[in-house]
Structure 1
Amino acid sequence: MCVYHRHINIYLLVSISAFLVLTCAQASSSQLCDPQTQYPRDGQCCSMCPPGTRMQSSSSCLDVVCDPCGTNEYQDKYTTDSKCKRQPYCDPNTNFESPVEQSMTVKTICMCKDGFHCSGKECITCTKHSTCHPGYEVVSEGSQTNDTVCRPCPSGMFFSSTSRKCEKWTECGPGFYAAEGGTGESDTKCVSRRRTHIIVGVIICVAVALMMTIGVGWYCCGNSRRKEHENLNGHSVEDALHTDECEDERIISNPVEDEDTDLDLGKTDNGNYFAQESGKPPRLSHQESQTYCINMNNS
């Protein structure tokens, strides 16, 4: 009975010893492998595939076969995986910039376009930066992760589009006056007093010149009309005078015949009276006057 128990104890001791030896051997072999570039397998240190590659499934510990990652794929560390990781898609329709060139060893980070920022922590889409309204200044510019921060301009200051900051209102110096007061959106507008006088003088000169031009034009027009009227009246008077003279000549040359009264026509050298033929008017020598009047009337 004692012998039987003794054999059992010996067997247990041998088994435990063998287990401890194997465990120590595996532990020592795993401690010798580089955890970054190697992995233990069957008591050996096997090499991993480098970044930018993937391991073929047919690879063995002694014969490692690695293939490069494909398009839009990457592997950023040593690996035993047979597949590479997929690069994220930067959609330009959601205001992301399209990457010019993607790496097989680094994960692509989608960047928002200029003037846009991520709409959330996960940055699924990009949102346009806010624009500061007139009278507000920029406290902090927008970035990839944050929007633009604005605040109203303090009293006595205005927003300058040049510096994108609030600036103090301009104080008008000697010889100038504030034509328009400053606001949160615009600066004070200073105007020279001399300039105002010049403008007023120019306006007065222009008005005087305009009035003189109108007066001269009115005078010339009236004078021209007056001359035309005088010419018309002159011809009428002259024609009337010639008409009256002709009428007088006609009366003289054609006297009214008085049948009841004897005309004293004078005497002859022998003392006899002149006798006018019955039915014929006396003839007087006014032929030239009649001809002249006829010519004037025809003209």
Structure 2
Amino acid sequence: MQGFSAERPLLLMGCGRMGHALAMGWLRAGLAPEHLYVVDPGAQPGCVPTVADGHFVTNAAKLPPGLKARVILIAVKPQVMGGILPLLSSFADNKTMVISVAAGVPIRVLEEGMGVDATYVRAMPNTPAAIGAGITGLTAADDIAEADKALARELLHAVGETVWIAHEADMNAVTAVSGSGPAYVFHLAECMAYAGAELGLDAEVSMQLARQTIIGAARLMDEETDVSVAELRRRVTSPGGTTEAALKVLRNPDRGLVDLMVRAMTAARDRSEELGG
């Protein structure tokens, strides 16, 4: 991973699940351990085992004086951003790119909180990033340099796929679709298992069937990338068969799954907007 040095390192603020996944992904991708600094008040240094000695600190004040980062990636909860941003401003300048993965926090809040003429990028990854299978939406001002845009993609690609979002206003919808999306899939497994138990199956057997069905279907979508999901659905659906009977319920125009998902994701988008102030 190019673009970092001892003089212009990569600084990670926050080493929870997402921060840890990113750090490990960067190191696997070839980032030199001495070019990474990690700040987290609660985690133990061993959570990023190959980071260089003295590069894992519990307080930003313990970072080397005069350090200027090439990239500062902030992976903390949105509720604490207001207190975190001023602590990081001394490590940024006009050659720094600041990337935030905090849901709902707009770029203007980053700019005002840091008070530095840096490049600001907003990112929305999701929890499958922990196993390198995530997807991240990225957005920035229209005048972002192509080199910065490419570097932001490279950093988030370490934990999965990336997609560039042209308009920041659409990031709340990204949060609703993919940021919160894994929870919808997990809940679908819960619902399928519950329904199977209601039909008389042993609860554990029903959950095993539901989990593996979702895992298998996801793997099939991943393998058959040249086939639309609509076509994959049609291949399972024989005319007049059992699947068609179930889909008639799920596709009811007034109270089917589409209507439910639109209402659910609208609520997620609206909450994301509220978090952003």
TM-score normalised by structure 1 residue count: 0.18
Tell me which protein shows more helix as a share of its residues: 2
Larger Rg: 1
